[in-house]
Structure 1
């Protein structure tokens, strides 16, 4: 995929353009390619990053084989379909099915983005060290060996006799996390194809557990994730409901985060259906829904028209967490001109109120009397995508 930014208003900023954070960011597969130094000013850092921008990504190249409904394998670079692993993945997925039970194994050794408005070349999403970690006398952990990528893996067992579904799954990244989960669902019309009525319900529980060296630095101070200290474990609860009536749909979702559950999993793919990003580049794009002890309610309605060429959706969302609270409303329009060309327009109101004692994107200790801040992140997004 090849792309470009037509206009970059951040070029006018005192410290230079920061558009690379969203489109074309590249720091090498294992990180460190840009060679940012501690003595570099923000202007110098931005200049280095802009020199390394890649407005292209070799996103898809894979082999796939399937034998009826019994066996399927895909290997190479392709768009991930795993609930907790979004974007392009580099690895393989193999599935086997017997009657109503399906077993899937997934392994990923790289991630990239190749969307209409978000492009990023391949990178190692979760790295660790070849020699492991040992505890020191400061209460922290020292790393040993070189930086390595052991990948992210998942096993998923699904039982779906017809309308009812129960699924157990387990994600792991060696020396980083172990994360079991369970899903229960009910689909009133599994063969729905745009005519009639359908009710689709899902309840998901997810329980990440992180290794102790992921939450403490070598000097004994806490590691911060999303503006608060990381926690060794946490939980996610997702309740989703969707109704389809012919070519129209209505959805509601409730998403609850317990502790800092999304430190290293749940942040790179999440089946909740709520909006996780679109914050400022200075806040790491991360919205309130992903943060510590957050609770989110999401409502949307939409439809498809003109032989499914035109789609529209209106969504609204409210999130509240230890760090901040926010409200959103968005209308999205999409049109598929032909097999190769499509376009989209998104108009969003997005307001974020950061609580006293927190600073957006700081990811470190902040004075308790640091003032609260309201930020308007409203935006207009447009994309024109040609696929060949």
Structure 2
């Protein structure tokens, strides 16, 4: 130890070049006189299944799509080596597969062509014509473009819309198991969705960590659910996490992410480039007393968004262990500013002038026939020419942002609990934050429960839609190794109205095996002007434009073009059964 101190002193006289190596070898971070090295190994084998009760055939004209049924298997193995003095190194990998993908067997409606011939388009440049008229007109419009094909003549990139025929023998189950969207320098490359590009495997942990009573740092790939107060990001990342104790009541938090992924049994997303220049967070955690904390901070992604937020949390009984009474009150207030200077060379607009991401804005439906004046010289936005003439400046675009307010209340009485909450969007704050990690999910309010052919691809529901309000209630109990929960949710937005009621049952069998089941009744209506099938893709991953009948790569890369909308509100049953069983060691 004394030798380390002398090395540090000499280096401080020799310049920064020798100071930094000496610092990391000094006793101040505990690298000298290490304790005995120990290690641990953990693993999981997970089976997850979803059975959708709505098996309607695909009919884009009517806006009808099945919910989706699939079975997944995931194996995870990780090891952590404890070097002593707070230092550790971890590495972990996952491998998955989908024994059954129901989308490979989903069929077109037997009435597809008949309905296309008798139904008129109600919006855009083809308004007044029947779908079949325009489909016939556009069926040869691809001109050999990669990934482009028509529903009428099929071809290399799209299967012919044969009434009663299978829509896509390849299936789109890769959106749950193996979807990969590129890592730097790539960014959502269109080829990532072509056959053979999915990756149901990943190295999800590869990090070095230091933790003491004053400092906690992680560098590399790690699981954000295992650190403190990363509420808007799920699950895996690569980058840096730091938590520094500045005072007995104040900690500084720094989070810098340069990739995001998932490996939780339901999803397998190898870590990919979520934002052009990463996503980051910096803030303070002020523990006023053992009951009350305040967490002011800011999330930001250069050229995309900046989101200042404050979180308040009050806990009447932090030491609660299943006996007595506990009340927890949490409030989030976030304002999301979408950048004006949002053009990234080689990528395009990624902030307020970017096309509506995850369709959370859906403005081509909401403001049908109303133009924007973003491109003042021509009177319309070249990225969204379908909007016509009018006054809305954000038709089809992400827009300037907005605010999100979330209030959560939970009560525990011995082994029983009840909770409720309200999630409110003012404007469109969630195209870039809230869709891939959200505090309501921490409270068990699931976001990804719709049709696999629906919003954002892979079944996101409308909690994070523009101008959406969601209220929910939950109640449950714990009885030894068994727990249950009943949850109800109601969501209303310009795009949709939805209601769900779910029952969760879980049981822990000994140390290693856990099993559970969820049965959910879920009913949702998509309003006129919106498209219930924005995630209906060709075998090469291109979205279907119900207005033109073309699967086009021009509508791809997570930034949707106008893919049409239904002429009247469409109500569909999204009820489903989910099961899981896992073996862990």
TM-score (norm 1): 0.84
Q: Deviations over 1:336-359 (max 9, x none)?
A: 334443332221111110111111
What is the rounded CA distance, in whole Å, between the counterparts of 2:332 and 2:579 in structure 1?
Answer: 33
Instruction: Give the direction of change, closer, same or farther, for the CA distance of 1:116–1:93 in structure 2 (3 Å limit).
Output: same
User: Which residue of 2 is the match for residue 265 of structure 1?
Assistant: 433
1:71 equivalent among 215, 218, 235:
215
For structure 1, which segment, 162-171 or 251-260, has the greater mean C-alpha deviation from structure 2 after superposition? 162-171
1:106 equivalent among 255, 258, 268:
255
Q: CA deviation at 1:305?
A: 2.5
Q: CA deviation at 1:152?
A: 0.9
Q: Deviations over 1:96-115 (max 9, x none)?
A: 12211121111111111111
User: Which residue of 1 is the match for residue 472 of structure 2?
Assistant: 298
Say whether the 8 Å CA contact 2:342–2:353 is kept in structure 1.
Answer: no
1:242 equivalent among 378, 387, 410:
410
User: Which residue of 1 is the match for residue 143 of structure 2?
Assistant: none
Q: CA deviation at 1:53?
A: 2.7
User: Which residue of 1 is the match for residue 172 of structure 2?
Assistant: 18
User: Which residue of 2 is the match for residue 60 of structure 1?
Assistant: 205
Aligned residues: 351
Q: CA deviation at 1:369?
A: 7.1
Q: CA deviation at 1:180?
A: 0.2
Q: Deviations over 1:192-223 (max 9, x none)?
A: 122211000011101111112559969x9872
The 3-state SS of whatever aligns with 2:104 is helix
The 3-state SS of whatever aligns with 1:371 is coil
Backbone CA RMSD of aligned residues? 2.4
Structure 1 residue 86 corresponds to structure 2 residue 234: yes
Q: CA deviation at 1:335?
A: 2.6
What is the rounded CA distance, in whole Å, between the counterparts of 1:217 and 1:76 in structure 2?
Answer: 29
Structure 1 residue 253 corresponds to structure 2 residue 421: yes
For structure 1, which segment, 364-373 or 238-247, has the greater mean C-alpha deviation from structure 2 after superposition? 364-373
User: Which residue of 2 is the match for residue 275 of structure 1?
Assistant: 446
Q: Deviations over 1:90-136 (max 9, x none)?
A: 11211112211121111111111111221111111112xxxxxxxxx
2:317 equivalent among 189, 194, 198:
189
2:518 equivalent among 317, 338, 346:
346
Instruction: Give the direction of change, closer, same or farther, for the CA distance of 1:252–1:32 in structure 2 (3 Å limit).
Output: closer
Instruction: Give the direction of change, closer, same or farther, for the CA distance of 1:221–1:71 in structure 2 (3 Å limit).
Output: closer
Say whether the 8 Å CA contact 2:531–2:565 is kept in structure 1.
Answer: no
- Unaligned runs of at least 5 residues, structure 1: 37-44, 128-149
The 3-state SS of whatever aligns with 1:20 is helix
Larger Rg: 2
What is the rounded CA distance, in whole Å, between the counterparts of 1:234 and 1:300 in structure 2?
Answer: 28
Q: CA deviation at 1:166?
A: 1.4
Instruction: Give the direction of change, closer, same or farther, for the CA distance of 1:236–1:171 in structure 2 (3 Å limit).
Output: same
Q: CA deviation at 1:231?
A: 1.8
Structure 1 residue 171 corresponds to structure 2 residue 325: no
1:355 equivalent among 500, 506, 527:
527
- Unaligned runs of at least 5 residues, structure 2: 1-93, 107-166, 364-396, 535-559
Q: CA deviation at 1:386?
A: 3.3
Which structure has greater helix proportion? 2
The 3-state SS of whatever aligns with 1:231 is coil
What is the rounded CA distance, in whole Å, between the counterparts of 1:260 and 1:99 in structure 2?
Answer: 38
Instruction: Give the direction of change, closer, same or farther, for the CA distance of 1:162–1:57 in structure 2 (3 Å limit).
Output: same
Say whether the 8 Å CA contact 1:275–1:289 is kept in structure 2.
Answer: no
User: Which residue of 1 is the match for residue 355 of structure 2?
Assistant: 223
Say whether the 8 Å CA contact 1:359–1:370 is kept in structure 2.
Answer: no
Instruction: Give the direction of change, closer, same or farther, for the CA distance of 1:75–1:302 in structure 2 (3 Å limit).
Output: farther
1:201 equivalent among 302, 317, 329:
329
Larger RCO: 1 or 2 (CA < 8 Å, sep 6+):
2
The 3-state SS of whatever aligns with 1:171 is strand
Say whether the 8 Å CA contact 1:214–1:223 is kept in structure 2.
Answer: no
Structure 1 residue 318 corresponds to structure 2 residue 500: no
What is the rounded CA distance, in whole Å, between the counterparts of 1:367 and 1:111 in structure 2?
Answer: 31
The 3-state SS of whatever aligns with 2:473 is strand
Q: Deviations over 1:146-183 (max 9, x none)?
A: xxxx2111012111122122110101111111110011
TM-score (norm 2): 0.57
User: Which residue of 1 is the match for residue 278 of structure 2?
Assistant: 151
Say whether the 8 Å CA contact 1:258–1:294 is kept in structure 2.
Answer: yes
Q: CA deviation at 1:361?
A: 5.0
The 3-state SS of whatever aligns with 1:291 is coil
What is the rounded CA distance, in whole Å, between the counterparts of 1:255 and 1:152 in structure 2?
Answer: 23
Structure 1 residue 378 corresponds to structure 2 residue 575: yes
1:9 equivalent among 85, 102, 119:
102
